[in-house]
Structure 1
Amino acid sequence: MEHLFLNVLNVVLPVLICAGAGYVLALTKTPFDNKVIGAIVSRVGYPTLIISHLSATKIAVGTFLDVMAAAVLAIAGFGVLGFAALKVMRLPARAFLTPLMHGNVGNIGLPITLLALGDAGMAYTMAFVVVVLVSIFTVGMWIPAKEFSPRKLATSPIIYAVVLSLVLMASGYSLPQPVAKSFDILGGLSIPLMLLTLGHTLASLRVNRLGRAVTLTALHLVMAVAIASGLVWAFGFTGAERGAVILCCLMPSSVATYLFIDQHVPEYGPDVAGFILVSTLTTIIALPLALSYWI
């Protein structure tokens, strides 16, 4: 048991240390522009990371697409169950549905699956990340803003990075070596920048009504276990793809969703911030348990 705990700690602790560095940057008021870094990661880091990693990793295209389909169903499941629960709790869906639907699969999911499941696990997690990112910056924005904007979907570099990666995976072709190395360097920026941004953002959140945050976190965790179990059974996932789907479903609420709530429904910003903070801290317990007894 002690050996198992140390293995799990070796997976979780590096992520916490990197996020902690971002937290310290916020506490020491070191200049750190979340919007600039977020734009770099979403428009340069993520696309190059996806292309460089997927084109070099030997995984089945069919299974990759299955994981993408599972991610779509997971978001839909969180949306339906979350909407029903919010109605019962008499909380506005416009403020709380987006953070309930979208997990932090980028900042936490990618490094965790890389350390726990290796390159194959990270590749399958990218399938989940792609779907969640597209959903966050479309549906996730539309719900609090009450507007529909397909233009953002059509102009997302991530979409074209996935298409190119699938073509390379299916055809067996590879990028020219100078391009591949450039994408490796640029893609390597993503994970450390995401973790620093996570810690910095958590340090600056304004938290309110801790009881509500704990309730929403418990609700999210119960939904995550139910949805992950259902998806693994329905698709018959095994090995790395099974672990990736379970871990992605267990991810805490995405920090990115707070920005939309704070912009469009600011009166609920502190409540959403509390939910994000508590759900993130809960993963310190949830992830070791999942890695020890479920994956």
Structure 2
Amino acid sequence: MLWRIAQVIIPVFLIVSVGWAYGRRTRPDLTTFNRIVLDVLSPLLVYTALAAKEFRWQDHAVLLGGGAVLILLTGLVALGVARLAHTQARSLVPVVMFTNCGNMGLPLALLAFGPQDFGAAVALFSISNLIHFSLGARITSAHARTRDLLLSPLMVATALGFASALSGWRPPDVLFTGMRLLGEAMLPLMLFALGVRLTLLRREDVPRGLLGAFARPLIGLAVALPLAWALQLEGNARAQLVLFSALPPAVMQFLLAERYRQEPERVAAMILLGNALAVVFVPLGLALAL
């Protein structure tokens, strides 16, 4: 079991470490890279995974419903925590609700469950994004323009991917293969970019980031384990949900907090510290999942 966990996390944290070392040395500007990931690579990865011949959405319907319920329940628990801790719910709740299921979750799922179950991880990623760009944006700010977020390339690709999965239509293989290769290039690049972002974590950020950093995986696991039992999930489906729940906060939430001026410094501290603590909670999640 320990060796299997090591086989999953060592490649992931190796790439993150290379990104961190490179970021410390060069301080690169990731603005253009982020735009390419959001507008090109992520949509292609999502579409090709959902439209692949081996992906059958019927096989993952319960898992996808469980992922949506998990996100909503963790949000409710986080709301109670925010009130007890006297912190702004608009800052804490989305950090706890939404996991870094893109940058970290997808590569972890590919290594842990293999290509045959990768479509399920992408589907969870898609469901998370759908809720994040609608309800999550509204929680972050009452003035969020959900329509603009839902019409983003990533959401359009998600809709087209599920349409292909339902209808069975997809581009010819000669085109589909190229689209898949370009989308899969995102996986190591996102881990590398995560490492670069971790160089922004400062010592003074630790106190204000502790609450969200610990609440995200702890609340997630506390909700996911009984939820998986209630839904009678077994095997890789249960493991996918548990791993999904143990992931650190979504980096995307910082972009929303910054856009809507919802304590972006505090949110950034929670997200960066949470992703740094993934070295503790991801192995824990894998141990409970596998």
Cα separation, 2, equivalents of 1:120 and 1:145: 38
Cα separation, 1, equivalents of 2:201 and 2:213: 16
Deviation at 1:11, TM superposition (A): 0.8
The amino acid of 1:201's aligned partner reads R
In structure 2, relative to structure 1, the CA distance for the partners of 1:215 and 1:153 (3 Å cut) is closer
Equivalent position to 2:277, from 255, 262, 282:
282
User: For the Cα contact (< 8 Å) 2:238–2:289, is it kept in 1?
Assistant: no
User: For the Cα contact (< 8 Å) 2:45–2:186, is it kept in 1?
Assistant: yes
Query: Which residue pairs with 2:242 in the alignment?
Result: 246
CA deviation string 1:215-274 (max 9, x = no partner): 4333323311122113312322222222111111111011221233344446x4343333
Cα separation, 2, equivalents of 1:256 and 1:160: 17
- Are 1:135 and 2:135 counterparts? no
Query: Which residue pairs with 1:149 in the alignment?
Result: 145
Query: Which residue pairs with 2:287 in the alignment?
Result: 292
Deviation at 1:106, TM superposition (A): 0.3
Alignment of 1:206-221 (within 5 A): 206=202, 208=204, 210-221=206-217
The amino acid of 2:218's aligned partner reads V
Equivalent position to 2:268, from 266, 273, 280:
273
- Range moving further from structure 2, 8-17 or 201-210: 201-210
Deviation at 1:122, TM superposition (A): 1.9
Cα separation, 2, equivalents of 1:158 and 1:137: 10
Deviation at 1:72, TM superposition (A): 1.9
Deviation at 1:101, TM superposition (A): 1.4
Query: Which residue pairs with 2:60 in the alignment?
Result: 64
Cα separation, 2, equivalents of 1:118 and 1:145: 38
User: For the Cα contact (< 8 Å) 2:95–2:212, is it kept in 1?
Assistant: no
The amino acid of 2:222's aligned partner reads A
* Total equivalences in the alignment: 290
Cα separation, 1, equivalents of 2:118 and 2:95: 23
- Range moving further from structure 2, 216-225 or 92-101: 216-225
**CA RMSD between the two structures:** 2.3
Cα separation, 2, equivalents of 1:271 and 1:106: 22
- Range moving further from structure 2, 45-54 or 147-156: 147-156
The amino acid of 2:286's aligned partner reads L
Deviation at 1:15, TM superposition (A): 1.0
User: For the Cα contact (< 8 Å) 1:45–1:190, is it kept in 2?
Assistant: yes
Percent identity, aligned pairs only, is: 24
Query: Which residue pairs with 2:157 in the alignment?
Result: 161
Give unmatched runs, 5+ long, in structure 2. Answer: none
TM (normalized to structure 1)? 0.88
Cα separation, 2, equivalents of 1:46 and 1:5: 31
Query: Which residue pairs with 1:16 in the alignment?
Result: 13
Query: Which residue pairs with 2:36 in the alignment?
Result: 40
Deviation at 1:180, TM superposition (A): 0.6
- Are 1:7 and 2:4 counterparts? yes
In structure 2, relative to structure 1, the CA distance for the partners of 1:269 and 1:30 (3 Å cut) is closer
> Residue 28 of structure 2: SS of its match in structure 1?
coil
Deviation at 1:212, TM superposition (A): 4.4
Cα separation, 1, equivalents of 2:136 and 2:203: 21
The amino acid of 2:237's aligned partner reads E
Query: Which residue pairs with 2:98 in the alignment?
Result: 102
User: For the Cα contact (< 8 Å) 2:60–2:120, is it kept in 1?
Assistant: yes
In structure 2, relative to structure 1, the CA distance for the partners of 1:207 and 1:69 (3 Å cut) is farther
User: For the Cα contact (< 8 Å) 2:201–2:273, is it kept in 1?
Assistant: no
Cα separation, 2, equivalents of 1:165 and 1:152: 20
Give unmatched runs, 5+ long, in structure 1. Answer: none
Deviation at 1:166, TM superposition (A): 2.8
Cα separation, 2, equivalents of 1:261 and 1:170: 35
TM (normalized to structure 2)? 0.89
The amino acid of 2:289's aligned partner reads W
CA deviation string 1:69-93 (max 9, x = no partner): 2222122112111111101110011
> Residue 199 of structure 2: SS of its match in structure 1?
helix
Query: Which residue pairs with 2:118 in the alignment?
Result: 122
